[in-house]
Structure 1
């Protein structure tokens, strides 16, 4: 009877190289995956100066509460390349602002951000011919209503196939 004796394999420099490459390959693959997911799904807000934004928060919150007490309803629509805004009071009566600006801001980056001045139409609404690319947007509407501060409406919308959903 013959016994086979297996000698333990020697750990060489090639083994160490393969181990290091596998280790860093996994790290790089995970980082690239996480960066791709963050770039395509993050919907946080980009501000120019976080300190200034934090200092203005309480004032803006108070203005928002005062405005909410009015119970006005703004309606923003985008269809067939026409961006339209109408404003009504708590009773449903139309409010006729002197001017309306609409800012489309992308939540993750500011490359496509834009501000649009709407034009008054004969029926009292405001509109403009616009093409907005599909995606998630933060829309800020400022309507000049004769008050000290403009009536401001901010909401997050999804534009799909050229229309707000």
Structure 2
């Protein structure tokens, strides 16, 4: 076995720190390039009406249930158990929680109390952002998680 010299120790340190720095750079790159963006343009402006908007949304008494089966995403918006909500418009964003490249905005059709849209989702965790408006003009927004088994 060869003796441990100063050059070998230096090579070990350089190799070890090269791996550490390389992994850190890779993780930083992935974090920056997969970040989907801002939630709001100006947090201060959004905060000015947050409490008022939250009270109005809670006063609607809406609950949202998601379903996904055979390539069809369903959204049920109810006011009380079994009582449909008075939804004037519905917009839905479906995407991964950590990146925006798979974001989809499916077009929903209403059949009775249920909104449904064909959308192909691969297995894994999905973020579903519901944006709706009641017939009285109150805005409703909720973010839900959906796990597609596979």
**How far 1:10 sits from its partner (Å)?**
9.9
Counterpart for residue 85 of structure 1: 75
Could you say what secondary structure the match of 2:12 adopts?
A: helix
Structure 1 runs (4+) greater than 4 angstroms displaced: 33-36
The superposition leaves residues 24-79 of structure 1 with CA deviations (integer Å, 9 ceiling, x where unpaired) of 3222333427956x969xxx974237762454245345423431243211111111
Counterpart for residue 6 of structure 1: none
Structure 1 unmatched ranges of 5 or more: 1-8
Distance in 1 separating the partners of 2:97 and 2:44: 18
Q: How many residues align?
A: 144
Structure 2 unmatched ranges of 5 or more: none
Counterpart for residue 20 of structure 2: 30
- 2:145 corresponds to 1:150: no
Change (3 A) 1:63 1:35: farther
Counterpart for residue 10 of structure 2: 20
Match 1:135 to one of 124, 130, 145? 124
> Computing the radius of gyration over CA atoms, which structure comes out larger, 1 or 2?
1
The superposition leaves residues 83-126 of structure 1 with CA deviations (integer Å, 9 ceiling, x where unpaired) of 111111135411242332210132222111121221112x3311
Root-mean-square deviation (CA), in Å?
A: 3.4
